[in-house]
Amino acid sequence: MDTQELGRRGEDLACRYLEEHQRLVILARNWRCKAGELDVVATDREQLVVCEVKCRSGTDHDHPLEAVTPEKLGRIGDLARRWLRGHGLGWMRIRFDLIGIHWPPSGPVRLHHVRGA
Protein backbone atom coordinates (compact mmCIF):
# COMPACT_ATOMS: atom_id res chain seq x y z
CA MET A 1 0.00 0.00 0.00
CA ASP A 2 1.43 3.43 -0.91
CA THR A 3 1.72 6.31 1.57
CA GLN A 4 -1.47 8.05 0.37
CA GLU A 5 -3.50 4.84 0.78
CA LEU A 6 -1.90 4.20 4.18
CA GLY A 7 -2.78 7.74 5.29
CA ARG A 8 -6.37 7.44 4.10
CA ARG A 9 -6.84 4.08 5.82
CA GLY A 10 -5.23 5.44 8.97
CA GLU A 11 -7.57 8.42 9.06
CA ASP A 12 -10.57 6.15 8.40
CA LEU A 13 -9.54 3.94 11.34
CA ALA A 14 -8.90 6.98 13.57
CA CYS A 15 -12.35 8.43 12.79
CA ARG A 16 -14.11 5.12 13.51
CA TYR A 17 -12.20 4.87 16.81
CA LEU A 18 -13.09 8.46 17.78
CA GLU A 19 -16.78 7.97 16.97
CA GLU A 20 -17.23 4.48 18.40
CA HIS A 21 -14.90 4.48 21.41
CA GLN A 22 -14.57 8.16 22.33
CA ARG A 23 -18.14 9.15 21.37
CA LEU A 24 -16.95 12.16 19.37
CA VAL A 25 -18.87 13.67 16.47
CA ILE A 26 -16.69 14.23 13.41
CA LEU A 27 -17.24 17.71 11.99
CA ALA A 28 -14.58 17.75 9.26
CA ARG A 29 -11.84 15.63 7.74
CA ASN A 30 -8.85 16.98 5.85
CA TRP A 31 -9.99 20.59 6.29
CA ARG A 32 -7.69 22.84 4.25
CA CYS A 33 -6.92 26.50 4.03
CA LYS A 34 -3.97 28.41 2.60
CA ALA A 35 -2.01 27.89 5.84
CA GLY A 36 -2.33 24.09 5.95
CA GLU A 37 -4.60 21.17 6.81
CA LEU A 38 -6.31 19.68 9.84
CA ASP A 39 -6.70 15.89 9.70
CA VAL A 40 -9.80 15.56 11.90
CA VAL A 41 -12.03 18.16 13.53
CA ALA A 42 -14.54 16.74 16.01
CA THR A 43 -16.50 17.66 19.11
CA ASP A 44 -17.45 16.01 22.38
CA ARG A 45 -20.34 18.51 22.53
CA GLU A 46 -18.45 20.67 25.02
CA GLN A 47 -15.28 21.52 23.15
CA LEU A 48 -13.65 21.27 19.76
CA VAL A 49 -11.30 18.29 19.45
CA VAL A 50 -8.63 18.61 16.77
CA CYS A 51 -6.79 15.37 15.99
CA GLU A 52 -3.53 14.96 14.14
CA VAL A 53 -3.23 11.44 12.72
CA LYS A 54 0.14 9.86 11.93
CA CYS A 55 0.30 6.43 10.36
CA ARG A 56 3.37 4.28 9.69
CA SER A 57 3.93 0.82 8.26
CA GLY A 58 6.81 -1.58 8.50
CA THR A 59 9.32 -2.01 11.25
CA ASP A 60 12.03 0.45 10.20
CA HIS A 61 10.17 3.61 11.29
CA ASP A 62 10.08 5.44 14.61
CA HIS A 63 6.82 5.65 16.53
CA PRO A 64 4.33 7.58 14.36
CA LEU A 65 3.85 10.32 16.98
CA GLU A 66 7.55 11.18 17.00
CA ALA A 67 6.83 13.07 13.76
CA VAL A 68 4.72 15.61 15.67
CA THR A 69 7.11 18.37 16.73
CA PRO A 70 6.38 21.40 18.90
CA GLU A 71 6.40 23.48 15.70
CA LYS A 72 3.80 21.17 14.15
CA LEU A 73 1.61 21.50 17.26
CA GLY A 74 1.88 25.29 16.95
CA ARG A 75 0.71 25.15 13.32
CA ILE A 76 -2.18 22.87 14.30
CA GLY A 77 -3.21 25.40 16.96
CA ASP A 78 -3.15 28.22 14.41
CA LEU A 79 -5.21 26.16 11.96
CA ALA A 80 -7.73 25.27 14.66
CA ARG A 81 -8.24 28.94 15.49
CA ARG A 82 -8.75 29.64 11.76
CA TRP A 83 -11.31 26.82 11.61
CA LEU A 84 -13.20 28.28 14.57
CA ARG A 85 -13.22 31.80 13.12
CA GLY A 86 -14.32 30.47 9.75
CA HIS A 87 -17.27 28.71 11.38
CA GLY A 88 -18.23 31.57 13.71
CA LEU A 89 -17.20 29.65 16.83
CA GLY A 90 -14.37 31.77 18.18
CA TRP A 91 -15.52 31.23 21.77
CA MET A 92 -15.21 27.43 21.85
CA ARG A 93 -12.52 25.63 23.88
CA ILE A 94 -10.08 23.45 21.91
CA ARG A 95 -8.46 20.16 22.87
CA PHE A 96 -5.62 18.79 20.75
CA ASP A 97 -5.31 15.02 20.41
CA LEU A 98 -2.76 12.89 18.60
CA ILE A 99 -3.43 9.49 17.11
CA GLY A 100 -0.51 7.31 16.06
CA ILE A 101 -1.21 4.19 14.05
CA HIS A 102 1.32 1.47 13.33
CA TRP A 103 0.07 -0.64 10.41
CA PRO A 104 2.64 -3.41 9.87
CA PRO A 105 2.63 -5.61 6.74
CA SER A 106 1.64 -8.52 8.97
CA GLY A 107 0.26 -8.63 12.46
CA PRO A 108 -2.25 -6.43 14.25
CA VAL A 109 -2.73 -2.73 13.67
CA ARG A 110 -1.90 -0.70 16.79
CA LEU A 111 -3.57 2.64 17.56
CA HIS A 112 -2.21 4.98 20.25
CA HIS A 113 -4.37 7.95 21.32
CA VAL A 114 -2.92 10.90 23.25
CA ARG A 115 -5.64 13.19 24.61
CA GLY A 116 -4.84 16.80 25.29
CA ALA A 117 -1.44 16.87 23.60
> Each residue of 6-40: pLDDT tens digit?
889 999 999 999 999 999 999 999 999 999 999 99
Query: Which one-letter amino acid corresponds to residue 102?
Result: H
Looking at the domain that runs over 3-114, which CATH code has it been given?
Answer: 3.40.1350.10
Please report, for the chain, the start and end positions of each structural domain, with discontinuous segments joined by +: 3-114
> How many Å apart are CA 51 and CA 15, to the nearest integer?
9
Region of 7 on the Ramachandran plot (φ > 0 left; ψ -120 to 50 alpha; else beta): alpha
> Each residue of 94-103: pLDDT tens digit?
999 999 998 8
Tell me if 2 sits within 8 A of 55, measured CB to CB.
no
> Among residues 98, 100, 12, 112, which one has the least CA distance to residue 49?
98
